[in-house]
Structure 1
């Protein structure tokens, strides 16, 4: 089966000359129909930039993004407009208009995409609110009348109003407390299964990624370090950076924790990334050869790709 989304050699840069920031560099991966793909990495690794680039919300420097075989990179605003229905984004901050009622916000989306006109509009708004666990009467409320969890539910309803097939969820839980996070995760799972959605889930919360996602892409300084099925990645991380990332995650019983992987120094600046493997300046296993050439993503076991020159001897 062909993937829904195919990303090849995608790069995003900001600025020019000495101030050029290489936010995303040569990223490639696929997302299958109905799959939930997790995207993880430290703050500043390029996760959110990549998510926005996939949806063409920011300019792509080079590379390809194909939705069911149709190239999105290079499309004009007018060419992209009809495709906006198919690809939507759920943001960390829903950024609700304080002067707009919830029902009017959803009505605006339906109107923009010419969906459910006339007498069908109000029932559809009520249906969207119920779909995300809100009540039809919430349509008359303003933003300040909603709790944080309700605002995120409304942000999800706003994305669903366009009837998309693919959604990028960019850190949708980070501003919520733990109990509300669990509710939103279960809501996403329910919506995915009920509506047949495909998700790119961007998060720094590894526990949620392990619970929600089918596969995981590990990003460091704008480059992919590893791609693997979720179960395999958490059971036996292959890349040194993935090991370090997982070892830093808190677990309920410290006695069962794996040995902590200590990294050297601070992450390099994207203004001046290291040559060769971008992780080499902090990697405990780096050798001189790691500075020469960027390691390619190489298949190791079924479904797993690793970008490390020494992955065979380290695993």
Structure 2
């Protein structure tokens, strides 16, 4: 069996202290295979973006968390030890946050300089190649950010991530600020880059249609905990966890006659300051019983290569 490129074990992220301590990500574990596109979905506030930033060390995870890149533990490394590994792990953000005073080519040159790549006469051709690879023209390298459209800015953000020649990219809601037609172009760009470069991606999104189209497997997150992990086709054809069922049932579809049966959730989402005991979804779950409050259900292997965190999975499916 192929060793995973990324292995996350018991990843926990907390903010604040004392009574104000919030555990945003709670004991998350999953693997990402080389060349895989793994989707991460869940409601706003479920901890998706925090998880993505923590696993590439943009924010600090709690003690006991483990993230391995190709077998090497990242969590215990100092900033100096982590610096050479930054090339291998990059992030594409929802907002590319481009420096308004810096030309596009200079942004890419800065990344190349930081990592000591393509020095001297090779730098210009490499910048032109990066621009073309993401669907921009080489002459666009002389433009400032205000001269680009929203879709072009996102393409430049992707080029900036690719400049480091990474093995793993976290794409955090890279489509949410774009028009539908532009979203489709960026999705097709990501598919093409994956094929050409063999990239491994964690794709964070609230758009289930895009996740279904782009991703090989999907991780479903609720209040910082993983509810289900499944191959994409299996998850969308037959969601196993009650929360996954509710999430898919709430998604808009073009033909209402093909809608999944409505799933009625109880109450409002709980506060992360005071999450329910046991299964964090139990306070809204239509199938919850008293035993669901006693302990946290583990991610249990089931059919179709999926994992489900539900005490009643066997009797409900």
**Counterpart Cα distance in 1 of 2:260 and 2:35:** 33
For residue 48 of structure 1, report the CA deviation from its aligned partner: 0.2
Alignment of 1:229-240 (within 5 A): 229-240=231-242
**How do 1:17-56 residues align onto structure 2 when only pairs under 5 Å count?**
17-56=18-57
Instruction: Specify the SS of the correspondent of 1:280.
Output: coil
Alignment-derived partner of residue 155 in structure 1: 157
SS at match of 1:10: strand
Aligned residues: 315
Alignment of 1:180-219 (within 5 A): 180-219=182-221
Matched residue, 2:119: 117
Q: What aligned pairs does 1:239-278 form with structure 2 within 5 A after superposition? A: 239-278=241-280
Q: Which residue of 1 aligns with 2:5?
A: 4
Moved more, 177-186 or 54-63: 54-63
| 1:142-195 Cα shifts (integer Å, max 9, x gaps) | 011000000000000000000001000000000001000000000000000100
1:266 Cα deviation (Å)?
A: 1.3
Structure 2: runs of 5 or more not aligned: none
How well do the aligned residues superpose, as a CA RMSD in angstroms? 0.5
Deviation by residue 1:79-110 (Cα, 9 ceiling, x = unmatched): 00000000100000000000000000000000
Q: CA deviation at 1:9?
A: 0.7
Q: How far 1:300 moved relative to its partner?
A: 0.7
The offset of 1:302, in angstroms, is 3.6
Q: Once the 2 structures are TM-superposed, how far is the Cα of residue 260 of structure 1 from its aligned partner?
A: 1.3
> How does the TM-score come out when normalised to structure 2?
0.99
Unaligned runs of 5+ in 1: none
Residue of structure 1 in register with 2:293 after alignment: 291
Distance (whole Å) between structure 1 residues aligned to residue 304 and residue 236 of structure 2: 15
Secondary structure of the 2:11 match is strand
Tell me the distance in 2 between the aligned counterparts of 1:91 and 1:165: 17
SS in 2 for 1:45: coil
SS at match of 2:65: strand
Q: Secondary structure at the match of 1:264?
A: coil
Deviation (angstroms), 1:31: 0.3
TM-score relative to the length of structure 1: 0.99
Q: Tell me by how many angstroms 1:264 deviates.
A: 1.2
Q: Which residue of 2 aligns with 1:101?
A: 103
User: Partners in 1 of 2:164 and 2:118 — Cα distance?
Assistant: 10
SS of 2:105 mapped into structure 1: helix
Residues 270-297 of structure 1: per-residue CA shift (max 9 Å, x gap): 1111100000000000000000000000
Residue 173 (structure 2) pairs with residue 139 (structure 1): no
